[in-house]
Amino acid sequence: MAILITGGTGYIGSHTVVELLNLGTEVVIVDNYYNSKPEVLNRIKEITGIEPTFYEVDILDKEALAEVFNKHRIQSVIHFAGYKAVGESVGKPLMYYKNNIAGTIALLEVMEEAGVKDIVFSSSATVYGLDNPSPLKENMPTMDANSPYGYTKVVIEQMLRDLAHSDEEWSITILRYFNPIGAHQSARIGEDPQGIPNNLMPYITQVAIGKREKLSVFGNDYDTHDGTGVRDYIHVVDLAIGHIRAIEKNTEKRGVKTYNLGTGIGYSVLDLVKAFEEANDITINYEITDRRPGDIDTCYADVTLANEELNWRTEKTLMDMCRDSWNWQQNNPSGYDNLDAVTE
Ligand code: NAD
Ligand code: UD1
């Protein structure tokens, strides 16, 4: 029996595939390469020694998706495929609603037809919106997501709860990620943002390598210990392992379960800059600029539920995250495009 990974050549998907293959689990990946590259598959093979089974399929294409279910005995699905750029979603809401929501509906319909009723879904801390206080708990209200991207997650979560309610055969786990950073310790897979990075860590690594002149720190007048925004950064490998625990739990229990995946610790922008400098013995050029519209002071998780019910705990430190992000950037200065990069 195999686990189907949608979006499995993306940032979080590829790290999860590596962890699953290392455990000897059979994996089938579908991805349309909208935001990833075929080279990822070579890197996964380098790390694990296993060539992953891959189909270039758009999840909106139900026929192609159904064929994958016909060819393989799929036990569960981990559903990463989706668009994720918050700013872009404000300008292109229909594109986001179509891909993320219609894509998930297509996937769920194909799963239902194939009799596979076991899914782990990538949600986001963005569903907590602007008003819930940290530490954020799974039972807090999730109505004000603050962007079309965020609303796609709110809607899909609700759809999954309704589905579980309508048919008790479904086993569904919703995972709300906080801020994934870092890369595999081999530095062979990592985050490969296209264009100017929106998120903090890839921006820092691009400043460090000289691609960008300096980091803009978006505001230092927040109600936090140093005035800069506080977030819950989680190493992508810890996050990947969270999916394995969730898949194991899914087979034990039906219905729907929701878990925060974070460390439970909040660090500010300047904490992260300092940690990066210390971990890598490098100076990051930065300036304080205006706040970014829509940003909140503080966002970190209460991870009690995932600790207790999934028996999952993060192991990597902020230093690990900074070191691994930098190793990935240094070894792959142009991400997966740079096939000649020195790798030792
Ligand atoms: P990513 O863009 O690196 O990976 C997503 C993958 O899905 C890409 O490889 C892309 O090509 C693929 N994809 C997109 N639409 C598709 C479609 N219609 N059919 C087939 N493949 C498609 O993103 P990621 O950072 O790995 O995020 C994975 C999931 O986790 C996403 O759903 C994202 O919204 C969610 N998430 C990410 C973060 C984060 O900070 N990275 C935080 C919270 C939640
Ligand atoms: C982003 C997403 C959010 C998603 C989360 C996790 C936005 C608006 N929100 O939020 O929906 O759930 O990632 O993936 O994109 N910062 C700077 N300079 C920069 C970049 C960021 O100072 O160049 C600051 C931000 O103001 C924030 C912190 O760094 O305080 C983290 O920013 P970012 O990495 O974009 O993550 P989130 O804001 O948490």
3-state secondary structure of 58: coil
Residue 109, pLDDT > 80, answer yes
- The minimum-distance atom of ligand 1 relative to the CA of 191 is 3
How far, in Å, from the CA of 34 to the mean position of ligand 1?
9
Ligand 2 neighbour 200 (Cβ under 6 A): yes
- Cβ(231)–Cβ(178) below 8 Å: yes
Residue 343 has pLDDT above 50, yes or no: no
pLDDT at 250: 83
Confidence of residue 339 (pLDDT cuts 50, 70, 90): low
Q: Is 204 in the pocket of ligand 2 (CB under 6 A)?
A: no
User: How many DSSP H helices and E strands does the chain contain?
Assistant: 12, 14
Nearest atom in ligand 2 to the alpha carbon of residue 215 is 23
Q: Give the residue-averaged pLDDT of 32-36.
A: 97
CB distance 231 to ligand 2 below 6 Å: yes
Predicted pLDDT of residue 49: 98
Q: Which ligand is closest in space to the CA of residue 61?
A: 1
Instruction: Return the ligand 1 atom nearest residue 59 CA.
Output: 19
In testing the pocket of ligand 1, which one of 4, 11, 191 has its CB within 8 Å of the most ligand atoms? 11
Residue with CA nearest ligand 1 atom 10? 35
- Supply the residue whose CA is at minimum distance from atom 9 of ligand 2: 86
* Separation of alpha carbons 135 and 153, rounded Å: 20
Structure tokens at 48: 């694990």
Whose alpha carbon is nearest atom 35 of ligand 2? 199
| CA 99 to ligand 1: nearest atom | 18
- Mean pLDDT over 12-24 rounds to 98
Ligand 1: which of 12, 88, 199, 234 to mutate, most ligand atoms within 8 Å of CB?
12
> What is the chain's alpha carbon radius of gyration, rounded to the nearest angstrom?
19
154 Cβ closer than 6 Å to some ligand 2 atom: no
Q: How far apart are CA 314 and CA 300, in angstroms?
A: 14
Average pLDDT in the chain: 96
Q: How many CA atoms lie within 13 A of 288 on its CB side?
A: 9
**So what's the pLDDT on residue 143?**
73
Cβ of 61 below 6 Å from ligand 2: no
For residue range 281-293, list pLDDT tens digits in order. 999 999 999 999 8
pLDDT in the model for residue 251 = 77
Q: What is the mean pLDDT of residues 74-91?
A: 96
Distance 295 CA to ligand 2 centre (A): 7
Beta strands in the chain (DSSP E): 2-6, 26-31, 53-56, 74-79, 118-124, 171-177, 179-181, 215-218, 230-231, 233-235, 255-261, 267-268, 286-289, 298-299
3-state secondary structure at position 147: coil
Distance 6 CA to ligand 1 centre (A): 9
* 162: Cβ contacts below 8 Å, ≥ 6 apart: none
Q: In which band, very low, low, confident or very high, does the pLDDT at 294 lie, cut at 50, 70 and 90?
A: confident
What's residue 344's pLDDT?
Answer: 40
Summarize the confidence of residues 159-179 as an average pLDDT.
97
Q: Picking from 196-205, 246-255, 314-323, which range would have the lowest pLDDT averaged per residue?
A: 246-255
Mean of pLDDT values over 146-175: 97
- Rounded to the nearest 5°, which phi and psi values hold at 21? -65, -40
56-65, 177-186, 227-236, 290-299 — which is least confidently predicted? 290-299
Predicted confidence at residue 78, as pLDDT, reads: 98
CA angle 170, 174, 177 (to 5 degrees): 165
**If you measure from the C-alpha of residue 336 to the centroid of ligand 2, how many angstroms do you get, rounded to a whole number?**
23
Token pair 């079309």: residue: 148
pLDDT band per the 50, 70, 90 thresholds, residue 338: low
Torsion of CA 195, 37, 15, 62, to 10 degrees: 110
pLDDT at 285: 97
pLDDT digits (tens, 9 = 90+) for 53-69: 999 999 999 999 999 99
200 alpha carbon, closest ligand: 2
Residues ≥6 apart with Cβ < 8 Å to 274: none
Closest Cα to residue 90, out of 142, 141, 151, 34?
A: 151
Q: How many CB atoms lie within 10 A of CB 178?
A: 24
pLDDT at position 146, please?
A: 87
Q: Are the C-beta atoms of 274 and 205 separated by less than 8 Å?
A: no
Please give the backbone phi and psi of residue 171, each rounded to the nearest 5 degrees, phi first.
Answer: -115, 115
Strands of the sheet containing 255-261, edge to edge, are: 53-56, 26-31, 2-6, 74-79, 118-124, 171-177, 255-261
Residues marked as catalytic: 149
Q: How many degrees, rounded to 5, is the angle at CA 178 between CA 177 and CA 180?
A: 85
Q: Residue 213: is its pLDDT beyond 70?
A: yes
* Cβ(157)–Cβ(168) below 8 Å: no
Backbone angles phi, psi at 71, to 5 degrees: -75, -30
Residue 98 neighbours by CB under 8 Å, 6+ apart: 60
Q: What letter would DSSP give residue 9?
A: T
Backbone torsions φ then ψ of 149, nearest 5 degrees: -55, -50
Q: At what angle do helices 269-280 and 318-331 cross, to 10 degrees?
A: 60
